[in-house]
Amino acid sequence: MTFFFEVLIGGLLAGVMYSLVALGFVLIYKASGVFNFAQGAMVFFAALTFVSIVERGVNFWLAIAITLAAMVVLAFAIERVVLRFLVNQPQITLFMATIGLAYFIEGLAQGLWGAQVHAIELGIQDVPFKLAGINISQFDLFASGTAAVLVAVLALFFSYTRTGRALRAVADDHQAALSIGIPLERIWVIVWAVAGFVALVAGLLWGARTGVQFALTFTALKALPVLILGGFESIPGAIVGGLIIGATEKLAEVYIGSSLGLNIGTGIENWFPYALAMVFLLIRPEGLFGEKRIERV
């Protein structure tokens, strides 16, 4: 039984990491209606930039500041070069454009900083401690804490600030937002910059956990099932979705793998989240926290 709980809790905490990446998606989707496939690439870019600066001897906090600035510049560039030209295109075109953007950012990151794997030191020992007889990773706990703080801040931001309200208006209808005087371009830069910040946090945590390498870009793909479960526009949904995906993924990996008699269980976690997402799509397409859409003729 202990083993089950260990797997479960390990999965939940891993899920928190997914949630972090999913958060970035939700932000951008909430505010601009764009599904940003390049979020994973942004995580990678942020982590790689940070680690490369630190390795050149820059102080930790200064490096964070510089990387953040870089993300803001990136946000500006994206708004100016990509979004501006694609304002009224259908959602699917924007999605494909972000796929192109992802490739672009990946190439840029590696082109600037090289393709080696780096490790990030955050000063937290990855030593497990025992709680009620179950092994819990200290690092995972720290990550969850960070994510919780981040989510709280973002949720407050969206609900209670003027900018947050403007962001929600823009997500609903670009034209309408324009007509009441919301500066679309500025809003988008803000959103992508915030998403960049979230990407940085995620990048640091993921990087510390698994090393900064190209595979980091694939975290974007894992976020998709998270969003389908949680709803594309919901911040709490991203968290809950992440937790569910993380937990079920690990449980499936361990339990389904062994029941199928496969000695190497690895790999189920690659597709299981998608299968789960598909089931959700058929039963409850708007996700747990999303809003139902009625199509009128």
Query: Which of 107, 183 has the CB closer to another protein?
Result: 107
Q: Which one of 15-23, 136-144, 158-166, 279-287 is the stretch in contact with another protein (CB under 8 A)?
A: 279-287
Site string for another protein, 236-265 (x = CB under 8 A): --------------------------x-x-
What span, in angstroms and rounded, lies between the C-alpha atoms of 42 and 18? Answer: 14
Measuring CA to CA, how many Å separate 20 from each of 17, 111, 113, 197, 252?
5, 26, 24, 11, 22
**Residues 95-120: b if buried by 16+ CB within 10 A, e if exposed:** eebbeebbebbbeebeeebeeeebeb
The answer to whether 232 and 32 have CB atoms below 8 angstroms apart is no
Question: Positive or negative, the Cα torsion across 244, 250, 256, 259?
Answer: negative
Among residues 91, 49, 94, 53, the alpha carbon closest in space to that of 72 is found at 49
| Amino acid (one-letter) located at 190 | I
Among 68, 72, 281, 288, binds another protein (CB under 8 A): 281
Sole residue written with tokens 């390049």: 38
Among 68, 136, 221, 256, binds another protein (CB under 8 A): 221
Query: Which of 140, 253 has the CB closer to another protein?
Result: 253
CB of 260 to another protein, least distance (A): 9
Interface positions, 19-48, toward another protein (CB under 8 A): 35
Q: Which one of 52-60, 95-103, 118-126, 159-167 is the stretch in contact with another protein (CB under 8 A)?
A: 95-103
CA 39 to chain centroid: 6
DSSP-derived secondary structure letter, 256: I
Site string for another protein, 101-130 (x = CB under 8 A): xxxxxxxx-xx--xx---------------
| Amino acid (one-letter) located at 255 | Y
What span, in angstroms and rounded, lies between the C-alpha atoms of 200 and 65? Answer: 11
CB of 215 to another protein, least distance (A): 12
Among residues 188, 161, 186, the alpha carbon closest in space to that of 28 is found at 188
Among 161, 186, 271, 291, binds another protein (CB under 8 A): 271
Query: Which of 114, 183 has the CB closer to another protein?
Result: 114
Work out whether 5 is an interface residue with another protein (CB under 8 A): no
DSSP-derived secondary structure letter, 64: H
Interface positions, 154-193, toward another protein (CB under 8 A): none
Task: List residues binding another protein (CB under 8 A).
Answer: 35, 81-82, 85-86, 89, 91-93, 95-97, 99-108, 110-111, 114-115, 221, 224-225, 228, 262, 264, 267-268, 270-271, 274-275, 277-278, 281-282, 285, 294-295, 297
